[in-house]
């Protein structure tokens, strides 16, 4: 399941001017002899090829693909070993490779939509090219599979969450009373809340989690942000910020239950944990006991968990706002 695209090979310029008398290859920018044989030329061109590999990260997805006769692998561990060998070989040849999560259900729908036979390598390649173009690929830099695959799955989940939240916001339309775009107003409000929250949090490394009970599922967004004026590279990425703001905006626009928790690692001090609940587009601080309970309770079973050593559980601090609540 790989798609390969190549850059156009540039044509050689004709010698002219002061360079006309020089023999080929003697110019100031030469770095070595040109390849002469067909095989050498092909190897040189191969290094220009960019490859994307669709990865079946878990055994369930792998089992779904085994229904296709053209899919030749019998077991998931063997498939992963061959995948690792392929990635390593491409890296040793200095070939740029990205990997993307291959979703069998989405693949079948894609083939049906575009009139492709799903039981062909061509169909799998076309689908892989599509998921790479959507921005769900990760560059392979030699990392082991037990590091690469969880990151790939996490990125796919985050993208699906963002797409779902974006769809919800886009479908809300305008406020009947004032004509204001409900989704856009909620997005602006969420962005404002995040900015003020980080301002009040002060210096340190911040890890934020936003949890929203959407109509059909629980949405989670994570954001890492360093508040260090001496490090301009410490700002969160635009993509991470967009995901976080979009999920928070969903709770604001729909009036759904939601909350934000913040873990701050200040210089030379214990980590601090704070929490807020979202109410009418405002972040209301949780008490210290509520923060402790939120962090020290198993979300699945409701059973108590041991407090994390070296961590301070604190009440949420006020998050001031200076803009009106959005209509909706």
CA distance 215 to 219: 10
- pLDDT class for 156, splitting at 50, 70, 90? confident
Same domain flag for 137 and 196? no
Q: Is the pLDDT of residue 35 over 80?
A: no
CA distance 106 to 47: 31
Residue-level pLDDT at 47: 65
Q: Is the pLDDT of residue 28 over 50?
A: no
User: Domain residues for 105?
Assistant: 35-142
Domain boundary among 142, 170, 191: 142
* Sheet (strand 137-139) strand order: 2-6, 49-55, 96-101, 137-139
Same domain flag for 301 and 208? yes
For residue 258, tell me if it sits in a domain: yes
Q: Where are the alpha helices (DSSP H) in the chain?
A: 38-46, 59-65, 76-92, 104-114, 121-133, 145-170, 182-201, 238-254, 288-295
Same domain flag for 135 and 201? no
Same domain flag for 220 and 276? yes
Please state whether beta strands 49-55 and 96-101 pair in parallel, antiparallel, or not at all (unpaired): parallel
Quick one: 283 exposed, middle or buried, by C-beta within 10 A (0-12, 13-18, 19+)?
buried
For residue 136, tell me if it sits in a domain: yes
Question: Cα 268 to the chain's mean position, in Å?
Answer: 31
Is 128 strand, coil or helix?
A: helix
Q: Per the structure block, which two tokens stand in for 318?
A: 């006020």
Domain boundary among 84, 113, 142: 142
Number of folded domains that form the chain: 2
Q: Over the stretch 93-123, which tens digit does the pLDDT of each residue have? A: 888 899 999 999 999 999 999 999 999 999 9
Q: Is the pLDDT of residue 283 over 80?
A: yes
Which range is most confident: 7-11, 182-186, 301-305? 182-186
Same domain flag for 192 and 261? yes
């Amino acid at each position: 399941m790989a798609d390969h695209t190549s850059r156009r090979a540039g044509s050689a310029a004709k010698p002219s001017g002061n360079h006309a008398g020089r023999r080929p290859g003697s110019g100031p920018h030469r770095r070595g002899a040109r390849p002469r044989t067909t095989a050498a030329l092909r190897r040189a061109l191969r290094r220009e090829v960019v490859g994307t590999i669709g990865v079946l990260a878990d055994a369930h997805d792998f089992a779904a693909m085994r229904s296709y006769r053209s899919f030749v692998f019998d077991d998931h561990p063997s498939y992963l070993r061959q995948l690792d060998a392929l990635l390593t070989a491409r890296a040793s040849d200095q070939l740029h490779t990205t990997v993307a999560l291959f979703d069998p259900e989405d693949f079948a729908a894609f083939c049906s939509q575009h009139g492709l036979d799903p039981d062909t390598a061509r169909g799998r390649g076309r689908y892989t090219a599509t998921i790479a173009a959507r921005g769900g690929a990760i560059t392979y830099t030699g990392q082991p599979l037990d590091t690469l695959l969880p990151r790939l799955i996490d990125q796919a989940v985050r993208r699906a969450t963002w797409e779902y939240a974006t769809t919800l916001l886009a479908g809300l339309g305008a406020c009947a009373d004032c004509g204001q775009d409900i989704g856009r107003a909620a997005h602006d409000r969420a962005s404002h809340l995040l900015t003020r929250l980080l301002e009040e949090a002060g210096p340190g490394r911040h890890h934020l989690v936003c949890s929203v009970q959407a109509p059909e599922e629980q949405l989670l967004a994570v954001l890492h942000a360093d508040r260090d004026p001496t490090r301009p590279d410490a700002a969160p990425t635009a993509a991470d910020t967009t995901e976080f703001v979009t999920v928070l905006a969903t709770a604001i626009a729909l009036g759904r239950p939601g909350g934000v928790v913040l873990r701050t690692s200040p210089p030379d001090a214990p980590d601090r944990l704070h929490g807020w609940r979202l109410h009418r587009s405002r972040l209301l601080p949780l008490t210290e006991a509520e923060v402790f309970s939120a962090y020290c309770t198993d979300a699945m079973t409701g059973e108590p968990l041991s407090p994390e050593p070296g961590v301070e559980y604190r009440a949420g601090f006020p998050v001031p706002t200076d803009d009106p609540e959005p209509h909706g």
